[in-house]
Each structure stands twice: as structure tokens, then as C-alpha cells.
Structure 1
């Protein structure tokens, strides 16, 4: 599978709200450098799984609407908007953030991420 196809499958999956699915995509040495509207966060494999576990407690569905995806070698850049449905209100889709991330793929897994996100 190409790096671009791997990333496409990742963003179409329920990995954002399901730690077991997330494990399938993350390299064990994964690190994400994340610049948020609140500041900088660096997350490793365990922190990403913990975040997914916490998110799964609040959301029944999460969707990434990808607008751009570009591959160069083992690097894939993705621009998307994240939406979710909460447990309290599963019928209404809620905007979460605009996101841009550059993924380095290693051993057919998400290895290194450089992420920027902004809520509106």
C-alpha cells in the first residue's frame, strides 16, 4: 500500500475515536509535534492512544473531510476539517477544527507527524 493510500484509509477510519483501530496505524515510535490554537504539544504513541481513549468517551462519530492530500516519497501532507457527533447529541454534526498535517511513513505506519490545527 502506498503512503498516500495508508493516510487516506487512516482518515476514513474510526481511529480518532477507537484506540484499537488507532494502534493499527501508529508506528510504536510515533511522535506528533502539534501546534494548536492553545500552544505546542508533543505526543508520543502512548499519549496519542490516551487521547483517543478520552475522545471516545465524548464522541460517537468523528469525520475528517479531506480537501487536499499530496505524497512525495514517504511523506504525505493532508489538509482536512474535523467534525464529530457527541454522545449527548448524536444527530448533530459539530465542527471541531481545521487541520494541516505532514506525515512521515515508516514500516507502513504513521511515524512522524507535524500538525497545525485551528478552531474557529
Structure 2
């Protein structure tokens, strides 16, 4: 594996996958599965589902920026905590926090294979903002 496990996970969440879903090939195993608990319920997603969702996101977002606060690796598993900030097509001048994520990824063949992700909508509670926490590379 040319990239470390942490670099792989960081790369996915910082990538422009929403503009070009083919970017996912650099990060996700072809048999990847994502088990996602969101405020709207549970979803089990395949590589194709993730790719389709990424393409749909690109229709609404001008930019998507991640702010990673935690990134830890042990053996073939990586955990990440982040907040996504977006600029929409309707309001490209304003960046707003949209969602908080925590995920654990298992690797296979040097790519992300199984992900377990929890998300909830972002809020502006000062104790929840990530400006005071930064990861170490």
C-alpha cells in the first residue's frame, strides 16, 4: 500500500469526490460497503451507491470542505471525526456547516473496504464547533 491507512481515509474525506465520482477509485475497494446511521435512518451502501450519491451532491454544492478533528489508526482500521462545510449553488458566497461525521473504516487490498459511519446535522453550539481541536499529522 503506497499510502498509509490514515492518509487514505483523510484523502477520501478531503477529496473532490462530489465533483468527480471517479476519484472514489483511488480510495474505495470495488466491493466497498458503507453501513451508515444518519438522522434519517440506516443505509447500507455499495460502491455504486456511494458513487451515485456523490454525483447527486455535485449538482447542489459549489464546494465541500472537511474539517477533520480526529484521525486514528490501528492495524487495518482507521477512525475519523469531521464536519463538512458547503457552499451551495443557490448561495455560493456563504459557507455553512452541514453535517458531523464519525466513521471507522476497515482496509482490504490497500483500499477502504468496510465503513461504519454515524452522522448528524451540524449546529452552531460553541462546544460543538471544531475550531479549537486540530489533529496532528
TM-score (norm 2): 0.83
Aligned: 1:80 with 2:94: no
Whether the 8 Å CA contact 1:23–1:49 is kept in 2: the answer is no
Query: Structure 2: 5+ residue runs without aligned partners?
Result: 124-137
Q: Partner of 2:49: helix, strand, or coil?
A: helix
Aligned: 1:23 with 2:25: yes
Partner of 1:52: 54
Greater mean deviation of Cα atoms: 16-25 or 104-113? 16-25
Shift of 1:17: 3.7
TM-score (norm 1): 0.94
Based on CA coordinates, which of the two structures has the bigger radius of gyration? 2
Number of residues of Structure 1 aligned to a counterpart in Structure 2: 120
- After superposing on structure 2, the runs of 4+ consecutive aligned residues of structure 1 that deviate more than 2 Å are none
Query: Structure 1: 5+ residue runs without aligned partners?
Result: none
CA RMSD of aligned residues (A): 1.2
Partner of 1:9: 11
Shift of 1:87: 1.3
Greater mean deviation of Cα atoms: 45-54 or 18-27? 18-27
